[in-house]
Amino acid sequence: MTATNDKRKIRYAVVGLGWFAQEAALPSFANTENSELVALVSDDPTKNEELSKKYGIHHTYSYEEYENCLASGEIDAVYIALPNHLHCDYTVRAANQAIHVLCEKPMAVTEQECEAMIKAANDNNVKLMIAYRLHLEEANLQAVEVLRSKQIGEPRIFNSVFTQQVEEGNIRLRDVTGGGTLYDIGIYCLNAARYLFQDEPIEVFAVAANNGEQRFSEVEEMASVILRFPNERLATFTCSFGGASVSTYQIVGTQGDLRVNPAYPWQGEIKHYLTINGETQERTFEDHDQLAAEFTYFSDCILEDKDPEPSGTEGLIDVSIIQALYESIETGKPVQIQTSDAYGGKLRHQRPTSDQTIERPPSDEKPDLIHAAAPSGQ
């Protein structure tokens, strides 16, 4: 998918200037042809001042001035990179001002918040996209095609490990802000299982573990999950904030298997290891600017009046399943998911395919972070 309107660029405000916004999002606008960074929103005056100078931005706002930003006439869309518990409020307020919204995942902390975000977007006729960058990334989309083409036979098993060390004091370790392993990194494994199986789980089970360190006093250190899909397929994954940096998944079919390693990075090479009849083929996918692809895609959707594939419904389904997983952790029992009438009856009819692949050259810039620190292992 490429931009077809060369005359107009969608003007963005980036809301929230943490490490990911600074390191991945802000530099990526230079790699887009239809998107322009015009405003910053943060309560940190130093971030606003230094980043606006660096990127030539004339409009900066505090969080209290967010409404002024939305009503300024300077922006068409917001990219929301705030803590999870703020996603709903800032999305609804933008939609109510007829501003399009690209919101980081997880979409929100509860199903009710997700539904409110979808309703606000629909009521105001604005685009709402959840930032599932891997829905545009070649290696993951080619994994989808490997399964769809039956190269490994009938896919039966998905297994994933996504772990990293998160240092004490990081916002991901705070319960009140919507932290926790499942919301933060488990969502990648869950979403991958769904787009690879091209289906929704019908039953889930999860357990959590905690080694007692002070940094894990509010959220689990790690969680292991089992998802039962239709046709008796199983997906399992373990995610952790207390392990070495690992990011991989494997799909086992009746005639072969595909391993992707690393599976979920936002930068760097990704490799496929496809084994059929005992013979393994290795394929390397080059580094690309995934955030530039994301902005390009969303801007195209706005310019061409198309509904984004990673929609609010996609975000809602993941959050709904994560809530069920935490219910399972609390009760120690499996939780049924009634997919026939779940999610307001809006099951996924459109799923990511290789047609959505967008490649942009990687950014050479390694920005110095201002009042922000990347989690260990990134």
Catalytically annotated residues: 105, 188
Residue 58 near residue 72, CB atoms below 8 Å? no
Q: Which helix (H) or strand (E) holds 77?
A: strand 77-80
CB-based contacts of 253, cutoff 8 Å, min separation 6:
147, 150, 151, 152, 153, 154, 155, 156
Whether a cis peptide bond, with omega within 30° of 0, leads into 27 is no
- What one-character DSSP code corresponds to residue 368? P
CB-based contacts of 353, cutoff 8 Å, min separation 6:
141, 144, 145, 148
Bridge partners (DSSP) listed for residue 104: none
Could you tell me the strand order of the sheet in which 335-336 lies? 279-285, 270-276, 256-261, 242-253, 155-165, 233-240, 222-229, 203-209, 335-336
Which whole-number Å values give the CA distances from 136 to 4, 148, 356, in the listed order? Answer: 18, 17, 5
In single-letter form, the type of residue at position 102 comes to L
**To the nearest 10°, the Cα dihedral for 58, 117, 166, 41?**
10
Output the CA torsion sign for 61, 126, 288, 164: positive
Q: In which region does residue 268 sit, left (phi positive, over 0), alpha (psi from -120 to 50) or beta (all else)?
A: left
